[in-house]
Structure 1
Amino acid sequence: MTTSTHYPQHDDQYLWALLSKGDREAFGEVYRRYFPLLFRYCIRFTVDRGLVTDMLQDFFSQLYQKSAGLSFPENLKSYLMVSARRKLFRYLQKSAQLPASLDESTFSAFALELSPESILINRQHTEHTTRRLQQTLNSLTLRQKEAIYLRFYENLTYEEIAGVMVLKEVKYARTLIYRAIAELKELLAPEVSALMLR
């Protein structure tokens, strides 16, 4: 009878140290913790769930094979998101879902939906207002939607967002989010005014 190892919930550095020595249980724990998060993120770039699943299986397999001797990244979550995002783009290129030259400005979609847990939703909102808010989210640029997702759905810092999205400076991450929020406020202003007059 085997007993499973207990790993501290937030000690990624400890896990990584074991993983870099080829510890299979540590790898299993990294996989368990981060596969769902990476899947939720990557599936927003494509509706092809099979492609994302295959890519992530390949991604984690390579992570295990190449982890020996790797130094611990400053932030494991951000590191894995950056790496998985890069690998996903290569998969999308091979499947002809992206142009041959990797230019993020040519991406056609990044799905960003409202969720009950999102800070953007309020229980008092009417169905019409919620629908209007979703339409407004859909009108944001792909990069704005990705930045909003990383900030409010995954709770990444501006520094981490800049790293994941391969932005040259942290201020670009802030600008993307501030502009997105400004657009949301502007587009929803009539709805808010109407609610206040009721």
Structure 2
Amino acid sequence: MTSSQSAPADEQRMAQLWIRFKADDEKAFDQLVQARYRVLFNYATRFTNDRDLIKDCLQDLFLELWNRRAVIVETPYVTIYLIKAFRNNLFRRIRREMARPFVSDETLEWETIATEELTADHKWIADERLVSTEQSLRQAVDRLPKRQQEVVFLKFYEGLTNDDIAQVMAIEKQTVANFLYRAMTQLRTILPVRLFS
């Protein structure tokens, strides 16, 4: 990461928890797991829809972290460290077990925001529009090559910078920019113009 502005809002807290976890603080470790479990789980759904495999890999990762806490490096960028470690474990496991081919999960969870002032009908219409837009976007992203899907997910769903994505995927920063450019170009040809306004 090149600036503190690019870090997730709670990354400083995560770094403090990381230090405490390395010093055998179980409570800090539990807080780390709770804070990043969903991020890692959602990230893995870009590669496989085998939710049991994802959960197993997460459990293995956190068990390995706890067992190796004394020798794990200190880092101010815990989220990047966890995503990179999890990505490596997941890919190893998928290759080792010859799991299903990489597929996208159609069940990403989305939150809708509604105010109390909206009537039930207005809320229903707003929800239908949001679901339709999200489905169109998800289907379009699913048509991208897998590496572009991963870059789009990390950039727009997880809010990582190009530098962070390059670290996670072990590629050059320029390659990340190229993937993003190609992905956005292709999405603009697939999606209705209103999604980009």
TM over 0.5: yes
Specify which of 136, 141, 147 is matched with residue 143 of structure 1.
Answer: 147
Given that residues 49 and 103 in structure 2 are in contact (C-alpha distance below 8 angstroms), is that contact kept between their aligned partners in structure 1? Answer: no
Q: Which residue of 2 aligns with 1:92?
A: 94
Counterpart CA distance in 2 for 1:18 and 1:128 is: 44
**Greater relative contact order (CA < 8 Å, ≥ 6 in sequence):** 2
Gaps of 5+ in 1: 1-8, 99-106, 118-122, 194-198
Gaps of 5+ in 2: 1-9, 113-125
- Give the C-alpha shift of residue 87 in structure 1: 0.3
Look up the equivalent residue of 1:192 and give its one-letter code. Answer: V
Counterpart CA distance in 2 for 1:77 and 1:68 is: 19
Q: Does 1:157 align with 2:158?
A: no
What aligned pairs does 1:4-153 form with structure 2 within 5 A after superposition?
9=10, 10-97=12-99, 108-111=102-105, 115=110, 132-153=136-157
Counterpart CA distance in 1 for 2:109 and 2:141 is: 9
Aligned positions, number: 169
Counterpart CA distance in 2 for 1:57 and 1:20 is: 18
- Give the C-alpha shift of residue 45 in structure 1: 1.3
- Give the C-alpha shift of residue 111 in structure 1: 4.1
Q: Which has the larger radius of gyration?
A: 1
Report the CA distance shift for 1:40/1:23 in structure 2 as closer, same or farther (over 3 A). same
The structure carrying a bigger helix percent of its residues is 2
Counterpart CA distance in 2 for 1:130 and 1:76 is: 29
Aligned-residue sequence identity (percent) comes to 30
Q: Which residue of 2 aligns with 1:173?
A: 176
- Give the C-alpha shift of residue 14 in structure 1: 1.5
Q: What is the TM-score of this pair, normalised by structure 1?
A: 0.74
Q: Which residue of 2 aligns with 1:102?
A: none
Report the CA distance shift for 1:116/1:32 in structure 2 as closer, same or farther (over 3 A). closer
Given that residues 141 and 187 in structure 2 are in contact (C-alpha distance below 8 angstroms), is that contact kept between their aligned partners in structure 1? Answer: yes
Computed over aligned residues only, the root mean square deviation of the Cα atoms, in angstroms, reads 2.7
Given that residues 114 and 134 in structure 1 are in contact (C-alpha distance below 8 angstroms), is that contact kept between their aligned partners in structure 2? Answer: no
Counterpart CA distance in 2 for 1:176 and 1:159 is: 13
Q: What is the TM-score of this pair, normalised by structure 2?
A: 0.74
Moved more, 139-148 or 179-188: 179-188
